[in-house]
Structure 1
Amino acid sequence: MRRQWGILSGAILLATAALGSQPPRPRPAGELIFESKIRPVLLAKCVTCHGEHAAQGGVRLDKAFDAAIAQKVLAAVRYDGKVKMPPSGKLAVPEQEALTAWVKSGAKWPLSAPPPISPVGRGQGGEKHWSFQPVKRATIPKVKNHVLASEWVKNPIDAFVLAKLESKKLLPSAPASRRELIRRVTYDLIGLPPTPEEVAAFERDTDPKAYEKLVEKLLASSHYGEKWGRQWLDLVRFAETNSYERDNPKPQPWRYRDYVIKSYNADKPYNRFLTEQLAGDELPDANNETQIATGFYRLGVWDDEPVDAEQSRYDSIDDIVTTVGQAFLGLTLDCARCHDHKIDPIPTKDYYQFVAIFQNINYFKNGGPTDEKIIFESDAEKTDYEKRVKEKAEQLTAKKARIVALQQEFLQKRDALLNPADLADVTWKYYEGSFDKLPNFDKLTPAASGTAANLDLSVKQRDASFAQLFTGTLNAPAAGEYTFWTDSDDGSRLLVNSQKLIEDDGSHGEGSEKRAKLTLPAGKVALRLEYFQSGTSPLGLNVAWAGPGFARRPLSPAKNTSVLGIPVQFAAYKGQLDPTQVAESAKLTKEVEELEKAEVPVNKMLVVTETGPKSAETFILKRGSRETPGEKVEPGFPSCVGGGIAKPNPLAASAGRRTALAHWITDPTNPLPARVMVNRLWQGHFGRGIVRTPNDYGFQGAAPTHPELLDWLASEFVVKGWSMKAIHRLILLSSTYQMSSRSNPSALKADPENNFFWRFDMRRLSAEEIRDSVLAVCGNLNLQQFGTSVYPDIQKEVLAGQSIPGKDWYPDRMKPEDKNRRSIYIFVKRSLLYPMLESFDAAETDRTNPARFATVQPTQALAMLNSTLMNQQAQVLATRVKKDVTDRPVPFVKRAFSLITQRDPTQAELARCTRLIDTLRFKGATDTQAQTYLCLSLLNLSEFLYLD
């Protein structure tokens, strides 16, 4: 498989080879498209295993290919045949489409050489790579066009962008319209549409600071964290279940989601935000919030029955290393698990030094004391809980004491039933030894012997591992049928009149009484009872009989039985004992069992814990296998960004290694975290980052289009106290952000991918924004925040696709209004993503997800037109519009249109919509049906789904 893929991948990855030194020349549009769409896919998916220094299967991916191989490439990436590549998972639809178009156009490669990736990328001089250099606060550039600069440069961002545009002989696009701008910034900051009234008011507002005030209002909104917290949840692979076949729920993961939202709303400094997630339990000021933050470690997939438990533990640590490396540092550290990184200067030793930091973490068990801690919101809440715990203990004590009292009464009454005339000439022999089966007593030598009045075990001389043999005469008062009962802990055998009547062999407990019947003559008959006690099991031997003229009565005293065995005997002597006492004891026994099982209700939080302060040892695992340990390593950091050993400060419950990691990551001299995060903030506003590979700042990642701007923003981020809202503010108040998305032919030809930001890229709403917007314009979006996740309705056909249909999806438990909460509060089940969100490219949950795709697929149109959700909401919208205005066609259309698009329809649009209503009525639709279909049609407008 790898050999075949190597051949097919080679058809794709020739871009990694330099075809010789070429003089500088302008790059044609096709080459630019290759650089932006083709090369990143090839580098990310193929070169790790098939580059110059990792030619698996003897295949190098830097050699030319012919048309025949190109077709095989397409078949492989589409999973059309036996060869399915990449083996880790199918390429996204946009990636497949880009490769298809490239191959159909001739699969031409650029003549200029790509950036070198080896041998530098193998650790020899890799520290010279741009992302490993210290962040330098670049000098704000001066632009040549002073007239344009005076009008357009509103802050340093604009100066950097305009200087780059000038160097490429490009001009920025005109400003966006007021309507475009308010829609854009409202969605970008809170993920919801503005109302038509808000848009109209903003368009009328002549205050020069109207836009600035709008930005501040939106940044202060409690819905800001719901929008931007979602980007973070994508990065940390947030889900509320464990994956695999059962995909069971995790305990309380929603608290972590709420922590993220609240942290964003509070503009928590990013360095503190990271520190709390990495080591919130180890902080001097640790509290509920910082410990909830460590639930970050528990969000990954978890196999509840791994074939190899220890290997599974290493896989879970690798998941943490992968997430921390890519999400926090932009480094693919996980590529060095089995061998030195094939591209970046990350040796395997560095990987295992990073693993060592997390080695003490308790393996996830999906709940229990190593995964959960009690959470108290106040001292009063804690006092109340302690009171309830005490009350439970007192109830148990009282109930158990009453049971013991009843049992003692029972024992006395049962012993009163013993008839001294039933047995005569009873002798016993006592044997010491370990037994698991009844022995041949006739071949054993007793340790003691004697006589007794009945089958009394109290003559034993120790409490464990003994056996006893009783022989005697049983006096049958009359000829007839007799019934015998035995119950023992452990083995017993009863012989009457020389017949083996009951045998209950082996080690077991009481509670399974055995019965047998036998016809006896009147008078004396022989009785023999054999018994053994294994280990320290509770003492237990009960023998009873009944016959002509008398009800059941014991042949053994009550002291033969431990207290645990007493309730079993109540039923046996029913009618001979007080029935109210029998019923009370049974009731109390059941209550005690239920009370002991029941936990005192208390809120808990999902957290990380460690095995203790003693540091676990870590070894390099050759080829990634735990069965081939190599050199021992100490916890440490990647050498490509300074390296060093983590110097922990052990605490009572942990090794302190994670605190050392948090300090290293958030050190202002670390060149990666600030760059990585400001790039994500830029990506959230512009649709892509200054670095197009937001999780990969290594050699196979894309270089920044504006390196000086990236560093200036990173520097400003730290200077501003790691405030994310400060960076938002800079971006949003820039002319760069406020540009129109409209195009012009010359700029499009010179920069088709808009690498230099000569315009604002149009974007489609995210999956969550689409659903939330539908609910918002229809008027039934529930804006309640925080708390347990919700379960909207899912079609039964979708639920049927689960291994257990409908498992862990509970819409019936929801109030109707709760099903309409914002999408971030929908329960995230790995094997059952909510269909509407999944159709519109919701985040992958198994690994860190650095960016959302924006695909165009038939299933999206089907979801928007045919789904139960959309048809229900269209009807809700029609009802809202009629309530707002009237059901007369023109006012109805205008109101519906403005709610959805935040503008009035043109005369042509108005005519077309009213004509649709008339046509539907003519074909037999009722007024309500026609209005509903119109609303459904308007909800499918591209203008609703896309932002200029």
Structure 2
Amino acid sequence: MSFWRKYIFGLVATTSVFLGSCSQEKEKTSTLGSADQISYNFHIRPILSDKCFACHGPDANKREADLRLDVESAAFAALKENPSRHALVAGDPQNSEVFVRITSEDPAELMPPSESNLALSEEEIDLIKKWIEQGAKYEPHWAFVKAEKVTPPPVNEWTINEIDQFTFQKMGEMGLEPNPQAAPYELIKRASLDLTGLPPSPELIDRYGDFSGENSYEDLLDGLLAQPSFGEKLAILWMDISRYADSYGYQDDNIRTQWPYRDWVIHAFNNNLPYDQFITWQLAGDLLPNPTKEQILATAFNRNHKYTEEGGVIDEEYRIEYVLDKTNTFSKGLLGLTMECAQCHDHKYDPISQKEYFELFAFFNNTPEKGYEGDVSISKPAKTPILWIEQDDLDGILNFINHSDTSRLSVSVMGELDEEKSRTTYILNRGVYDAPTEPVAPSTPTSILEFPDNLPQNRLGLAQWTTSQDNPLTARVFVNLIWQEIFGTGIVKSAGDFGMQGDLPSHPELLDWLAVDFMENGWDIKRLFKQIMSSATYKQSAKVSSKQLEIDPENIYLSRAPRLRLPAENVQDLVLASSGLLVKKLGGPSVKPYQPGGIWEAASSGRGELATYRQDHGESLYRRGLYNFIKLTVPPPKAIIFDSSNRDRCEVGRGRTNTPLQALVMMNDPLVLEASRVLASKLLEKHEDVQDAMEEAFTRIVCRPIKEKERDLLANYFEDQLDRFESNPDQIRPTLEVGEYPLDSDAINSKTAALMQVIVSLYNLEETITKI
């Protein structure tokens, strides 16, 4: 039986446990006992990791009684303090010290000890007992085992591609059935939001209609994937991962010019640069043979971390901080592992030692980067090493950079010290910059994949190791990120933690199949999107039945489409695009839109270019949310309210909260009010009949045909607002005079003001900013 077959068996068994736990408490323990086969990976390791590994795990410095439970050989060995006893004895719980101690009634013997504030439940104790009775078999951690492409389950009438074969089987195991296919207008909106971050225009909805003739669903996907807005949508994810911002982040927090890197990311996604090359250029583009300026620009990925400009700091302290940030971003963003605790000691949960952490650190430790380059009074918008972008470059290989003036640009990028100046890396005692111990050479954690002797011991070698088809993590992590982008939750829910403390995959064989298929097909990102979005799983309706809600409230088993609020940037994009205000210029410097006064000033020391907020004007007010200026010490407040990343560190996923502040933004944000005013004016100019104007507004904003009851409701609301403004004409101009978009004098009337209020209400519908 294969690794995942065993895992699936355990998963199905434990599913019955979970379902049983929903019934009366007295049935809980007996239901638990129905799990016939106990899996170390699924049942036991999570318990040991949570309750035992802190004292009996990988971290040698914190290990108690010299007992290690995360390694099979150590767990079965004779105890140092009592050689006649063993922590585990296969088949014999009563002679297994682990079981004896977790069931002891003596507080001095009981494990975990009371001072740890940890305790095992009866169910957990019963699982450990059964596991020992069944032989206490250990399994390698699933994420560190090379992915295999198993044969998908059988096809049936519902399945379209292999994805559906896996999901349908899991639905059946859970007693679920897939939803019917969503209506065409729902699929058009869903696909448009997923691939471009923009709502479909009325013309697009009308063109594809019922997906008949030449205007098929596949044609829709191909057209959306070819849009420049595809790269802008996906770049939001990568800006979070690469911790992109427009300022340095410490104290005075002055301006920097990393935005050409953002232009490159958009360009790379739009040109479908294979993911293995996408990673390689960012990690080590400067080390490629005869690197181009484009490849060097890509290495700005490593330089997006915070920089200090505070006088009097210790140069080496901050230089080490920068290298640590690069190491942690690499491990979390590309490998899906939380390695940062190994900076100070061996990892408490994952098999990664402090020595291995600093061996990884060594790859990034040989750059001529400085910890301190001067205070804010002599600030530079880029730090050494710097890539200078000249006008000739913009006319040539870097023509994708949107730079309107003739001055040259500077971007912080990577460089490598030559052999004579090569820097030795040391393990730092407790991770402190001035406490070096033994020297280490660049290498990678052996638990993931040994670093081959034939690769160079530099960032290029690291990139080759990362994109090796033998690496068990890279493809899995990226496929999971794209799945998370589309379905809201990854197949592995903890997208940034594939380690021992992370979540187990809900569909492990599907994850592995997709990862291997992704690599076999040239790491093709657009193909991966189309593959997922062509599935019957993706095309389901989002309607929720009481049975689905009872069995699978979180939609883990995908028997329906998810209902997800749009990311913060795309909420802004929807408002701008549907109103006709959106400026579709690609790339360029970040912009400063409307923002409440005084926020920057309250958090600023009063020095530097960013001491005060200087709002932009004209078309800069109507750019996509991706381009909003991000000052690290004061992130854009509206975006933060809608759960945007604050960009001070690598993030691979965002939360989705629901707070009154979000409603406050949508009802009062100048941009929403301005967009409503502009759209109302344009529609009344286009349509003589107000009813026609409201119906077009509904289609533009909600992206579906209006229902009769909705039409009547909006018509009544319009009449109420019209009466209000006709009775209070002094309210018309103050209502309409919002935002900087020119206000036509002919539009200053009660009808425009009333329709504006109708449109504001449409923007405030939950359905509007929700992908269904």
TM score, norm. by length of structure 1: 0.63
Q: Deviations over 1:230-265 (max 9, x none)?
A: 111111111121112211122x20011011111000
Cα distance in 1 between the residues matched to 2:215 and 2:698: 29
Cα distance in 1 between the residues matched to 2:619 and 2:280: 37
Cα distance in 1 between the residues matched to 2:757 and 2:530: 41
Cα distance in 2 between the residues matched to 1:369 and 1:307: 16
Asked if 1 retains the 8 angstrom alpha-carbon contact of 2:255 and 2:381, the reply is no
2:204 aligned residue: 198
Equivalent residues in 2 for 1:437-476, closer than 5 Å: none
Q: CA deviation at 1:139?
A: 1.0
In structure 1, the residue corresponding to 2:645 is in which secondary structure?
Answer: coil
Equivalent residues in 2 for 1:151-190, closer than 5 Å: 151-190=157-196
Equivalent residues in 2 for 1:736-815, closer than 5 Å: 736-804=537-605, 808=610, 814-815=616-617
Cα distance in 2 between the residues matched to 1:747 and 1:906: 27
Asked if 2 retains the 8 angstrom alpha-carbon contact of 1:350 and 1:637, the reply is yes
In structure 2, the residue corresponding to 1:153 is in which secondary structure?
Answer: coil
Asked if 2 retains the 8 angstrom alpha-carbon contact of 1:238 and 1:299, the reply is yes
1:609 aligned residue: 415
Cα 1:817–1:743 shift into 2, 3 Å:
same
Cα distance in 2 between the residues matched to 1:126 and 1:175: 43
In structure 2, the residue corresponding to 1:234 is in which secondary structure?
Answer: helix
2:280 aligned residue: 275
2:755 aligned residue: 931
1:128 aligns with 2:134: no
**Letter matched to residue 918 of structure 1:** E
**Letter matched to residue 629 of structure 1:** P
1:619 aligns with 2:426: yes
Aligned counterpart in structure 2 of residue 896 of structure 1, from 685, 697, 707 = 697
Does 346-355 or 165-174 show the bigger shift? Answer: 165-174
Cα 1:205–1:678 shift into 2, 3 Å:
closer
2:116 aligned residue: none
Cα distance in 1 between the residues matched to 2:309 and 2:162: 52
In structure 1, the residue corresponding to 2:767 is in which secondary structure?
Answer: helix
In structure 2, the residue corresponding to 1:152 is in which secondary structure?
Answer: coil
Cα distance in 2 between the residues matched to 1:114 and 1:263: 52
**Letter matched to residue 494 of structure 2:** T
**Letter matched to residue 758 of structure 1:** S
Q: Deviations over 1:24-46 (max 9, x none)?
A: 843148779xxxxxx9xx99x99
Cα distance in 2 between the residues matched to 1:884 and 1:809: 45
Cα distance in 2 between the residues matched to 1:916 and 1:218: 36
1:846 aligned residue: 648
Cα distance in 2 between the residues matched to 1:279 and 1:775: 38
**Letter matched to residue 502 of structure 2:** G
Cα distance in 2 between the residues matched to 1:746 and 1:23: 20
In structure 1, the residue corresponding to 2:602 is in which secondary structure?
Answer: coil
Cα distance in 1 between the residues matched to 2:489 and 2:50: 22
Cα 1:809–1:892 shift into 2, 3 Å:
farther
Cα distance in 2 between the residues matched to 1:815 and 1:48: 58
Asked if 1 retains the 8 angstrom alpha-carbon contact of 2:102 and 2:125, the reply is no
Q: CA RMSD of the aligned region, Å?
A: 3.4
1:253 aligns with 2:258: yes
**Letter matched to residue 605 of structure 1:** V
Cα 1:376–1:30 shift into 2, 3 Å:
farther
2:150 aligned residue: 138
1:677 aligned residue: 478
Cα distance in 1 between the residues matched to 2:214 and 2:592: 45
**Letter matched to residue 756 of structure 2:** T
The number of aligned residues is: 637
**Letter matched to residue 543 of structure 2:** R
Q: CA deviation at 1:800?
A: 3.9
Equivalent residues in 2 for 1:303-318, closer than 5 Å: 303-305=308-310, 307-318=313-324
Asked if 2 retains the 8 angstrom alpha-carbon contact of 1:885 and 1:895, the reply is no
Cα distance in 1 between the residues matched to 2:208 and 2:524: 28
Asked if 1 retains the 8 angstrom alpha-carbon contact of 2:469 and 2:519, the reply is yes
**Letter matched to residue 767 of structure 2:** E
Q: Deviations over 1:455-474 (max 9, x none)?
A: xxxxxxxxxxxxxxxxxxxx
**Letter matched to residue 316 of structure 1:** Y
**Letter matched to residue 265 of structure 2:** V
**Letter matched to residue 623 of structure 1:** R
Cα distance in 2 between the residues matched to 1:24 and 1:930: 54
Q: CA deviation at 1:759?
A: 1.1
1:819 aligned residue: 621
1:709 aligned residue: 510
In structure 2, the residue corresponding to 1:232 is in which secondary structure?
Answer: helix
1:293 aligned residue: 298
Q: Deviations over 1:161-192 (max 9, x none)?
A: 11222222221111111111000000000000
2:222 aligned residue: 216
**Letter matched to residue 510 of structure 2:** L
Cα distance in 1 between the residues matched to 2:341 and 2:761: 48
Structure whose CA Rg is larger: 1
Cα distance in 1 between the residues matched to 2:21 and 2:139: 32
Asked if 1 retains the 8 angstrom alpha-carbon contact of 2:388 and 2:408, the reply is yes
Asked if 2 retains the 8 angstrom alpha-carbon contact of 1:127 and 1:641, the reply is no
Asked if 1 retains the 8 angstrom alpha-carbon contact of 2:363 and 2:442, the reply is yes
Q: Deviations over 1:740-795 (max 9, x none)?
A: 11112223222222211111111111111110110111111000011211111222
2:738 aligned residue: none
Cα 1:212–1:115 shift into 2, 3 Å:
farther
Q: CA deviation at 1:907?
A: 2.4
In structure 1, the residue corresponding to 2:123 is in which secondary structure?
Answer: coil
Cα distance in 1 between the residues matched to 2:395 and 2:760: 49
Cα distance in 1 between the residues matched to 2:720 and 2:417: 72
Identity %: 33
**Letter matched to residue 573 of structure 2:** D
Asked if 2 retains the 8 angstrom alpha-carbon contact of 1:647 and 1:657, the reply is no
Cα 1:167–1:840 shift into 2, 3 Å:
same
Q: CA deviation at 1:843?
A: 1.3
Cα distance in 1 between the residues matched to 2:704 and 2:508: 39
Q: CA deviation at 1:113?
A: 6.7
1:356 aligned residue: 362
1:876 aligned residue: 678
In structure 2, the residue corresponding to 1:632 is in which secondary structure?
Answer: strand
Cα distance in 2 between the residues matched to 1:217 and 1:380: 28
2:461 aligned residue: 660
Q: Deviations over 1:573-624 (max 9, x none)?
A: xxxxxxxxxxxxxxxxxxxxxxxxxxx9433333112333343111111211
**Letter matched to residue 128 of structure 1:** P
Cα distance in 2 between the residues matched to 1:340 and 1:114: 30
**Letter matched to residue 163 of structure 1:** Q
Cα 1:112–1:754 shift into 2, 3 Å:
farther
Q: CA deviation at 1:676?
A: 0.6
**Letter matched to residue 931 of structure 1:** L
Cα 1:646–1:857 shift into 2, 3 Å:
farther
1:944 aligned residue: 768
Does 914-923 or 679-688 show the bigger shift? Answer: 914-923
Q: CA deviation at 1:209?
A: 6.5
Asked if 1 retains the 8 angstrom alpha-carbon contact of 2:600 and 2:613, the reply is no
Cα distance in 1 between the residues matched to 2:122 and 2:680: 55
Cα 1:56–1:863 shift into 2, 3 Å:
farther
1:463 aligned residue: none
TM score, norm. by length of structure 2: 0.77
Asked if 1 retains the 8 angstrom alpha-carbon contact of 2:391 and 2:407, the reply is no
Asked if 1 retains the 8 angstrom alpha-carbon contact of 2:593 and 2:615, the reply is no
Aligned counterpart in structure 2 of residue 829 of structure 1, from 624, 631, 635 = 631
Structure 1: runs of 5 or more not aligned: 1-21, 33-38, 65-106, 117-123, 144-148, 383-599, 650-655
Aligned counterpart in structure 2 of residue 641 of structure 1, from 448, 457, 466 = 448
**Structure with more strand by fraction:** 1
